[in-house]
A and B are shown apart, each in its own frame.
Chain A
Amino acid sequence: MHRSLEAGLPSQASAVDEEVFHLADDAISLRNVRFRHKGSGRWALDGVSMDVAKGECIAVLGPTGSGKSTLCGVMNGTVPLFLEGDLQGDVTVDGMVPARTGTAKMAAHVGLVFGDPDMQLFGMTVEEDVAFGPANLGLDYHTIMERVRKSLIDMRLAGFERRPPYRLSGGEKQATAIAGVYAMLPDVMVLDEPTSMLDPQGKARVFSIIRRLKEDLGATVILVEQEVDDVLQLADRVFVMNAGKFIMQGTPREVFGRVAEVTAAGVRVPHVVEFGTLLGATRVPFTLDEAVQFVESGAWRTSDGTARTARACSGGLGCRAAGYEGSPVSRAASRQHEPGDVIIEVKGLEHRYPQGALALRGVDLTVTQGDFVAIIGQNGAGKTTLTRHLNGLLKPTAGDVRVGGKSIRDMTAAQLSRTVGYVFQNPDEQLFCNSVEEELRFGPGNVGIAGEKLDRKVEEILKDIGLARYREVWPKYLTKGERQRLALASVVAMDPAVLIVDEPTTGLDWLESLQIMDYLRSLHDDHGKTVLIITHDMNIVSLYARRVVVMAGGRVAGDGSPREVFSNPQLMAMANLKPPAIAELSTRLCGRVALTPEEAVDMLVQADAAGEGLR
């Protein structure tokens, strides 16, 4: 299937024992497939059927735990050979039955790429890594090197041959992982959330590679993703999963034309699509240009000239249908808090790592009590280095940081933990107790909170984070979203005045992201906590933050409200960031930044009513 790689190379068929049942036109055929894990009564896949033609690009969307990864595993035999359980129904991929052929032998036909690039790179150089698969197939040296060369060119990694994978950026690492799979010439590429751990630049790189796989190289692609904005323009067909079933399927336009259902399934709807839906578009826009064209056509006005919108937007489309109680309106309310006294003061902060890299170059920053700050910037901009000073994990090379009026230079991280709580990006590096309840008691015990006060606090938090029924469960058994909430709660239990949360939504689905962000908002609104988040997700910034600090090159490049920051194109470009699509759209339509689709619709309707016309 891969036109570029196939040319002039010998067939690999002889290298692998194949169990060929038939030469089908379909690359993948699933018939009423059911699977449940060993010892589980619940079907992780529950009667799934799909046919995928060669060269098709299929997107599979759905919340965490809906069965997407299990579906991927079925295609290369890791389910049920690696993840044991009861598999029923017919699975045929490239004419073979994966469960009988075996994962290692299926690898020549189905390439599986995972979300965490670090866990799938085996070589000491990019070249070695990409050669790993073909070398396992026992191909001869010259064939391997030719495939490696072409794979690296096709994945835009030419020149990276001798680079060690661990020194690459996230996007480059994932591109290497894809190249390693691609070099084995599989007929089907299965990508299981390949961008979930990447920053915006990394995501853009991976999506450009997937686009190339589909459009230029003719690969059959199964793409499991949470990043729906890009999926809309890539996929030929979309399948939405929930509770092990396909609950929706069709072309992207067919599926995303039913916005409420999509959201109810736990899938984030792109703001541009939501904007079009709120305005009653029969053909929902997928891009900014399409949205502008739709508005300019005037089709959103009723015959009497007023806006067609029914104001379903005030509650946020579909969120309630999904059983999610939060709403964009309540999220926006967190911005009404008045700032209090200064709690953190950073002056001329510099930090040089022992290896010599100067990560911070004179940072000045003041945080007041009651702030809700989002710190944004590209990887390497200095965000994490800065925040690690605020709880004493790092000490300044020059300058000073004062917390509650005291310099952190003479304080340990443990002492500062009473005032500044720090939640790490990866919950697995923060959870180390044997049960959920023990995890919540660990921190408070270290800072002298005990007795009835602690008991009450634990009960309250367990209820707040929805984990009361898992109090005795080993945290490793929880889902990523639950572990992330527990990691946050384990710090909240210590009752610090300031909460710093590093990438609270990375790797979570949209509903999980909203849950953890709403928990943070309630801590801010109801308990007066000062909250600082580090994030790459501009949708989260626009929905929750009242203040945005933009970092670039180890300095604070900008500081203001989300609206101020997103309306400063020079600042965003300098920090290599992109504002959320809805901010760009509202700027194009009305000349002002809207932070939500509802707000953009309001702006448009008001501008139209005032006869201001479109910009």
Chain B
Amino acid sequence: MIVEYESKDTPVHSLDPRAKIVWLLAVVLISVIWSDPVYLAGLAATVVVFGAVAGFPWGKLKGLAAFLIVVTAVITLAQGVTYTPAVAHLSAPGRVLFHLIPSWVPGVGPALPVRLGGFLYGIGMTFKVFTVLVAVAVLGYVASPSEIVQLIARVPRMPYQVGFIVSTAWKFVPVIQLQIRSLMDAHKSRGVELERGSFTERLRKTSRVVSPLFANALFMADTLALAMESRAFGSSRRFTFLRPYRFKPLDYVVTLVCLGAAAASIVGLAVRRLGAL
């Protein structure tokens, strides 16, 4: 889920890129090890707060929200029907909440029982998906690709040009998306029914876009290289980064809290089974 970076004056935007990466890694790690929906809901809430402080444009996640509703329903019901955790801090994880096919369906119902343990596990899984997707989107919104360049370039013995290749590839994702749409429109305008036919047929028709897309991308890469060299790219071994690479007090706070929370959740899970269903 890519939400384009926006330059803003929020505390989250002004964090050091390393602190932002530590935050994302901590969120992903914790969401992986926890399975209790209550704990995961709390984690999701912290991600939402983090995004809110950054002024994240939630409207851009409309598409994601629609996707999540479907995923939530499918995961929750599928887990409820198929899975009952063997070990759970629940009095009766196998208790049937309801049946997917109710008793009033003649001949079949009741069938496919949804059990408490599996149902809660499914909700936990949904929170995991939500948390990670939103955290990645928030990071994309608050971390400039040039910060990523800087991070890569700071790796010992890494030429700064490598970071630029990564950042340029990132920046041109929307351009390529736009080109795909234009090429598909051009195909439709020349009589190709892209929306009709079997899946294989549609795939075959759509694959025609690949060759011109590739040719255009090569041409674009050539032009980009020329334009970058015309702006002195590679003329000096030194590149001056615009953002001072220095931890401020807030960076220390965020980094320590994130590392602390990740460590605490590992220890808490191992010792007291905190966060486990």
Name A residues whose Cβ lies closer than 8 Å to a Cβ of B.
Answer: 15-16, 76, 78, 82, 102-105, 107-108, 111-112, 114, 116, 118-120, 122-125, 127-128, 131-141, 144-145, 162-164, 166, 180-181, 184, 391-393, 412-414, 417-418, 421-422, 424, 426, 428-432, 442-443, 445-447, 476, 490-491, 494
Contacts and interface: CB of A to CB of B under 8 A. Distances in A.
A232 B241 CA distance: 42
Contacts of B196: 412
Given A119-B223, A138-B239, A412-B196, A133 B189 contact: no
Contact of B185 (A166, A393, A418): A393
24 contacts: A82-B225, A102-B235, A103-B230, A120-B231, A122-B228, A122-B231, A133-B231, A135-B240, A135-B241, A136-B231, A136-B236, A141-B240, A180-B231, A391-B189, A412-B195, A414-B188, A414-B192, A424-B182, A430-B189, A431-B212, A432-B208, A445-B191, A447-B191, A490-B190
A432 B186 CA distance: 9
B25 interface: no
B86 interface: no
Contact of A429 (B186, B211, B228): B186
B16 to A, nearest CB: 16
A120 B195 CA distance: 36
A417 B188 contact: yes
A135 B240 CA distance: 5
B245 to A, nearest CB: 11
Nearest to B63: A354
A118 to B, nearest CB: 7
Interface string B191-232: 111111000000000001101100110011001111111111
B171 interface: yes
A138 B211 contact: no
Contacts of A443: 190-191
B223 to A, nearest CB: 5
Contacts of B193: 412, 414
Which 6 A-B pairs rank lowest in CB-CB distance, beginning with the nearest?
A446-B191, A138-B238, A104-B235, A413-B188, A107-B232, A432-B212
A494 B188 CA distance: 13
A116 B211 contact: no
Contacts of B8: 162
A301 B179 CA distance: 57
A476 B239 CA distance: 36
Nearest to B235: A104
Contacts of B171: 122, 124
A421 B239 contact: no
A139 B240 contact: yes
A491 B230 contact: no
B190 A476 contact: no
B39 to A, nearest CB: 36
Central interface residue in B192, B193, B219, by most chain A CB within 10 Å: B192
Central interface residue in B186, B189, B223, B229, by most chain A CB within 10 Å: B189
B174 interface: yes
A125 B7 contact: yes
Contacts of B236: 15-16, 136-138
Contact of B191 (A102, A432, A494): A494
Contact of A105 (B174, B216, B235): B235
Contacts of A430: 186, 189-190
Given A114-B223, A429-B182, A429-B186, 15 more contacts: A82-B226, A104-B235, A107-B230, A108-B235, A124-B144, A128-B144, A132-B233, A135-B241, A136-B233, A136-B234, A181-B230, A417-B189, A417-B191, A446-B192, A447-B191
Nearest to B237: A138
Contacts of B192: 414, 446
Contacts of B195: 412
Given A103-B230, A123-B146, A432-B208, A141 B189 contact: no
Nearest to A388: B185
Given A432-B208, A432-B212, A164 B7 contact: yes
B142 to A, nearest CB: 12
Contacts of A116: 223
A283 B18 CA distance: 67
B175 A118 contact: yes
B168 interface: yes
Given A124-B171, A414-B191, A432-B211, A181 B231 contact: yes
Nearest to A161: B7
B242 A135 contact: yes
A123 B164 CA distance: 10
Given A140-B240, A446-B192, A103 B229 contact: yes
A379 B205 CA distance: 33
Nearest to B215: A476
B183 interface: yes
Interface in B17-36: none
B185 A413 contact: yes
B229 A78 contact: yes
A128 B239 contact: no
B249 interface: no
A162 B144 CA distance: 12
A134 B211 CA distance: 37
B139 to A, nearest CB: 14
A138 B171 CA distance: 23
B183 A119 contact: no
A426 B233 contact: no
Contacts of B215: 476
B190 A491 contact: yes
Nearest to A81: B229
B114 to A, nearest CB: 35
Nearest to A103: B229
Contact of B145 (A114, A124, A131, A140): A124
B5 A131 contact: no
B256 to A, nearest CB: 28
Nearest to A102: B235
Contacts of A137: 232, 235-236
Contacts of A124: 5, 7, 144-146, 171
Nearest to A144: B240
B170 to A, nearest CB: 9
Contacts of A162: 7-8
A141 B231 contact: no
B156 interface: no
B188 A78 contact: no
B235 A164 contact: no
Contacts of A104: 229, 232-235
Contacts of B7: 124-125, 162-164
Contacts of A476: 215, 219
A82 B229 contact: yes
Nearest to A190: B230
Contacts of A125: 7, 144
Nearest to A78: B226
B272 to A, nearest CB: 44
A70 to B, nearest CB: 13
A124 B224 CA distance: 15
Contacts of A112: 230
A231 B143 CA distance: 43
Interface in B137-179: 144-146, 164, 168, 171, 174-175, 179
Central interface residue in A102, A104, A131, by most chain B CB within 10 Å: A104
A140 B242 CA distance: 9
A170 B276 CA distance: 54
A76 B230 contact: yes
A393 B220 CA distance: 26
A388 to B, nearest CB: 8
A431 B225 CA distance: 24
Contacts of B223: 114, 116, 119
Contact of A131 (B191, B208, B242): B242
Contacts of A426: 182
Contacts of B182: 424, 426, 429
Contacts of A139: 240
Contact of B220 (A82, A103, A119): A119
A393 B235 contact: no
